[in-house]
Amino acid sequence: MKAVVLAAGEGTRLRPLTRTRPKPMLPISNRPLLEHVLEAARDAGIDEFVFVVGYKRERIQSYFGDGDDWGVDIEYAVQETQLGTGHALLQAESAIEGDFIALNGDRIVEPSAISAVMDARRESRDPVMAVTRHPRPENYGVVELDGRTVRSIEEKPPAYTVTTDYINAGVYGLGEAIFDDLRAAEAEGELAVTAVLREYRDGLRAVPFDGLWLDVSYHWDILSVNNRVLDRSGGSDSARDVSSTAAVHERATVVDRTSLGSDVRVRPGATVLPGTSLGDNVEVGSNAVVANAVVFADATIGDGAVVRDCVVGENASIGPNTTVEGGEADVVVGSDIHEDVRLGGVVGDNGSVGGGVTLSPGTVLGNHTTVEAGCDVSGRIETGAIVRRG
């Protein structure tokens, strides 16, 4: 079977980081989220892919090319306007013959889940979807089951109405008939794949699994998903096996469950603690502490800085003795308030944070934001803003 990977979206809830890259290209353990998806499908036995791309698609196409570096074949379909997952799937129709797997390009799943969906599709000939349990099902597509038959799919229902913890895992085994069904579907605004699947009623089969399922929807998810991936892999580098292209001073400390990109420089007395990924060409200054952080390529952490629970954008700089406190905060995203999420802060691409600054938990700095020395900053600061004391 081919795999159709839906990777056309922006990820507006992840702004400012998605202002310059599509959501599937956000780094997890120093590799794009989409690369983890591709490798899981490849490990499940798939070697032909159709990537449905759209928003800033050149970032995806230039990185993955024709797939040779991963031992697979990749072709591309384009969704010019992001009109939902169902509309995105329709763009791949000309590349599909027979049965296929559809995957979300922003969710990491076990290869075994993909294999199970493939097997179930071959055996039953019915449309198939993977389902998994989640402690907060109301945040996703809640799935009601009758044995292995899907009775209903409801997107993000009120928590008090939810009577199951099964959710849609975003892995589907389908046939060409889905394209006609999608064209015939009526939808207000965006057309979702599930708008058609929920109409199949007795003909939609569920494949439950309890393995790895990781979703990136919000800034704090980047940190938690990065942590989970490092937990499983031990990190691409460790204190005992640092990349040959990284320069870690003999008086610096880099512990296990960290990932160091190429040409990383960790200066004397610096400490890089678990859950941290440092992208290519990142510099961590003398006596700095970085913990549970995802630092994008070309960023700089100044001498004596403390950076905890933080996402640092590409080519951003954090000045000496600046503190990103870390810990939990209430964070507003759009019209929603998310309580007690673990997010020290976000520094957007090309942001500049001066020396002696304190970022309160939950602070989000837009791209190209400048924070001058000695400021205490909290809340959301828009792109290009200049923050001064007094």
Q: Is 229 inside any structural domain?
A: no
Pair 107, 201 in one domain: yes
**Three-state secondary-structure class, residue 235:** coil
pLDDT at 36: 96
Structural domain ending residue among the three candidates 217, 242, 276:
217
Pair 264, 182 in one domain: no
Amino acid at 313: G
Pair 169, 305 in one domain: no
Pair 184, 265 in one domain: no
pLDDT at 239: 40
Pair 123, 243 in one domain: no
Q: How far apart are CA 281 and CA 298, in angstroms?
A: 5
pLDDT (tens digit per residue) in 95-115? 999 999 999 999 999 999 999
Pair 83, 141 in one domain: yes
Q: pTM for the whole thing? A: 0.92
Mean pLDDT of the chain: 92
Write the burial class of residue 273 (CB in 10 Å: 0-12 exposed, 13-18 middle, 19+ buried). Answer: middle
Pair 24, 156 in one domain: yes
Other CB atoms within a 10 A radius of the CB of residue 91 amount to 21
Examine the pLDDT at 136 and tell me if it is beyond 60. yes
pLDDT (tens digit per residue) in 204-230? 899 999 888 999 999 999 999 999 999
Structural domain ending residue among the three candidates 190, 217, 244:
217
pLDDT at 55: 95
Range of the domain at 243: 234-387
Beta pairing partners, 5:
51, 103
**Whether 349 contacts 314, CB under 8 Å:** yes
Q: Is 141 inside any structural domain?
A: yes
- Which residue's structure tokens are 């209430």? 330
Overall number of domains in the chain: 2
Bigger pLDDT: 190 vs 213? 213
| Tokens coding 21 | 């890259």
